[in-house]
Amino acid sequence: MYKSDGSAEWFQVKSAVDGRQVASIARVIEPSKTGGPSILQGLYRTWTQHRSRGIKIVLVTNRPPAADDPILTLRDGKDGTVVRRLREVSAGSRAGRLRAEVASHLGVADDSLLQFLADLSFRIGRLETELRNEALPLMYADGLRHDDEAVGMGISLVRQLVTDGKPSAA
């Protein structure tokens, strides 16, 4: 989504059938099932390609957050980022050790990781109903059809792209 100031928000949406699988940093650093980059590597690549334009990355999932994830528990209640509190953790803490693991996973220095995380929002535990309700006024504002059927058609289109293995545009 591009904004009037030229900046952009890039959304990556991950969905699960139910709440048995949780959202965690361990999950986003796993290699893809096809052996490709992890979710986080893909997000980082997109961010590095577009950060000069002021891009913000938003990871949205209906998976509930892992209660014991040392980084995701640091999410800011306003914007879903983790960087404010993650900057304060000690290197020897669970969050500090995972922070170092994530930096290593991305092949970046700690300061680059923190810059990236400042622009990455984790919107976790979102129900499909909530997302549908948010979509309607946005579709209206963009001059699109803004009824339940139109939202359903959009969801079906995206599901088909995912099923067919079409890469997302970055």
The answer to whether the beta carbons of residues 155 and 90 sit under 8 Å apart is no
Tell me if the pTM is above 0.75.
Answer: yes
The whole-number pLDDT of residue 5 equals 60
Please indicate, yes or no, whether residues 66 and 138 belong to a single structural domain of this protein: no
Please indicate, yes or no, whether residues 40 and 118 belong to a single structural domain of this protein: yes
Span 32-68, pLDDT tens digits? 888 899 999 999 999 999 998 889 999 999 899 999 9
101 Cβ partners below 8 Å, 6+ apart? 29
Please indicate, yes or no, whether residues 132 and 118 belong to a single structural domain of this protein: no
Q: Does residue 121 form part of some domain?
A: yes
Span 75-109, pLDDT tens digits? 999 999 999 999 999 999 999 999 999 999 999 99
Q: Does residue 101 form part of some domain?
A: yes
Please indicate, yes or no, whether residues 55 and 88 belong to a single structural domain of this protein: yes
**Structural domain count of the chain:** 2
161-166 long-range Cβ contacts below 8 angstroms, 24+ apart = none
